[in-house]
Structures are given as C-alpha cells and as structure tokens.
C-alpha cells in the first residue's frame, strides 16, 4: 500500500512539473513598449525585441505628432496578447538591429504573433528591410485578409493611403534580414493584379503578357491603387 502511495506521489509531482518543463528556454515578456516592440528577460538580461516584418502605427514616439489613435489600439492588443507571457524568439539573418535591439519573430502559444498583427490589420507586411525568408506567403495572405475585410489600418482611409505610399519605397534598401537577394516565385493565379520587376506595367492574372513574366519576377498587388502608388501603369491590352 505504501509503495502504491509513493508511486502516486511521484507521478503527481512529475505531471505538476510538465508545465514548467514546457516553458524552459522561453523568454518572459516583462513589458510592451508599443505594438511592435517588447521587452523580454533574455538570458538574465532585459532586452528590447523589435518584431520582424511588421510596423504598427506609432503610440510612444518622441515626436508626438507621429502618435495616432490606431497606435494605441495596436499597443493595447500586443499588451493583451503578450504581457507577462512566455514567448519563443526566432531570428533570421542579423540578430540585432542598428539600435542594438533583438530582431525576431515572436511566437506565443505556438502562434507567429508577427503574422497575427498583420492579419488583424494592425500592421502591413513590412518589407523595407527585406522579405521574410520563411513566412513570406503567410504574411502576404494575412495582409490580403486584413485588406479585404477593412481591418484596423485598412479601415482608416488616411492610414491605408500612408502605408500604400510607404510600400512603394519598401525593399529598395539593402536588406538587414538577409545577406543575399532572395527571389520567391509567385503564382499569377493567386494575385488580384500582376506586375513585373522589370517593367512598370500591371496586368490581370489572365492577361497574355503575364505568361511572359517569369515567376521569380512577378509582383502581386491586391488593389489597383496599390499598383499605381508603386509607380505601375495599367496594361493597355487587359485594362486592369
């Protein structure tokens, strides 16, 4: 009887320890700075983490003119999802940015929170410093979903115009995420409009000229305005 009791006690202790074992090696979020920046306990030090491939509206910028109500919404959302939680960090390319912050994808409950922010319409897919090597398609689909449903920044005409305007400049600087250029093939059928990296025309997916664009040079646009804001003109044949 005593032996059985000891076995039960040992098993109980083992199962109580499982949650602690599961979070071993993860990092606790001690503070949320704003929608795309958090502070974690990283190997015994408090480190700022800048989330890769996202750029939420400002809420704590030194220039108060930069702060907008949507920035507060993004910040509160991140606080709700991450504050006090244990998260995983996944790095891609350089581990630290210009200001010494960690650059990472943040996973909470096995969910890529960077992609979640884009899907919620709290950030565009931010590609100024390069495309995501591993999650490019997830980011594109998340942004397409947010735009289609007019979520948050995509439901605010002024913010939407601002981010579409910025997108025309993204990707022109050398990537700090990747050390070599990466080309990701695009299936024309998955695009609303299709452009080429080698021209300034955009087309409907079924246009005969799209077949002449190699998959590696195709660029997807979800909106006609997006293509025009990026300097592309409509094809005179398919008239998108």
204 is catalytic: no
Distance between CA atoms of residues 38 and 48, nearest Å: 6
Judge contact between 116 and 53, C-beta under 8 A: no
Q: Residue holding tokens 């507060």? A: 72
Q: Is the dihedral of CA 202, 207, 212, 216 positive or negative?
A: positive
Which of 194, 186, 119 lies closest to 153, judged by CA? 119
Which of 200, 185, 195 lies closest to 222, judged by CA? 195
User: How many Cβ atoms are within 10 Å of 194's Cβ, its own excluded?
Assistant: 28
Q: Catalytic one among 47, 81, 101, 116?
A: 101
Q: Catalytic one among 2, 31, 47, 50?
A: 50
101 is catalytic: yes
76 is catalytic: no
Distance between CA atoms of residues 220 and 137, nearest Å: 11
Q: Catalytic one among 47, 58, 138, 226?
A: 58
Judge contact between 153 and 119, C-beta under 8 A: no
User: How many Cβ atoms are within 10 Å of 198's Cβ, its own excluded?
Assistant: 9
Residues in contact with 76: Cβ distance below 8 Å, sequence separation at least 6, in sequence order? none
User: Would you please indicate which residues are annotated as catalytic (active-site) residues?
Assistant: 50, 58, 101
């Amino acid at each position: 009887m005593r032996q059985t009791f000891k076995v039960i006690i040992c098993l109980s202790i083992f199962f109580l320890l499982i949650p602690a074992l599961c979070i071993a090696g993860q990092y606790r979020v001690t503070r949320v700075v704003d929608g795309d920046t958090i502070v974690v306990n990283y190997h015994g030090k408090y480190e700022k983490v800048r989330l890769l491939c996202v750029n939420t509206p400002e809420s704590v910028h030194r220039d108060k003119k930069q702060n907008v109500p949507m920035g507060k919404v993004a910040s509160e959302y991140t606080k709700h999802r991450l504050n006090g939680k244990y998260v995983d960090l996944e790095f891609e390319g350089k581990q630290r940015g210009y200001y010494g912050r960690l650059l990472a994808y943040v996973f909470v409950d096995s969910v890529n929170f960077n992609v979640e922010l884009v899907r919620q319409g709290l950030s565009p897919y931010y590609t100024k410093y390069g495309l995501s090597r591993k999650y490019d398609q997830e980011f594109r689909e998340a942004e397409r979903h947010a735009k289609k449903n007019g979520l948050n920044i995509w439901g605010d005409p002024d913010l939407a115009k601002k981010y579409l305007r910025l997108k025309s400049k993204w990707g022109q600087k050398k990537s700090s995420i990747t050390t070599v250029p990466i080309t990701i093939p695009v299936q024309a059928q998955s695009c609303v409009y299709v452009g080429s990296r080698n021209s300034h025309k955009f087309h409907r997916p079924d246009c005969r000229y799209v077949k002449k664009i190699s998959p590696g040079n195709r660029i997807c646009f979800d909106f006609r305005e997006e293509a025009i804001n990026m300097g592309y003109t409509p094809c005179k044949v398919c008239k998108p």
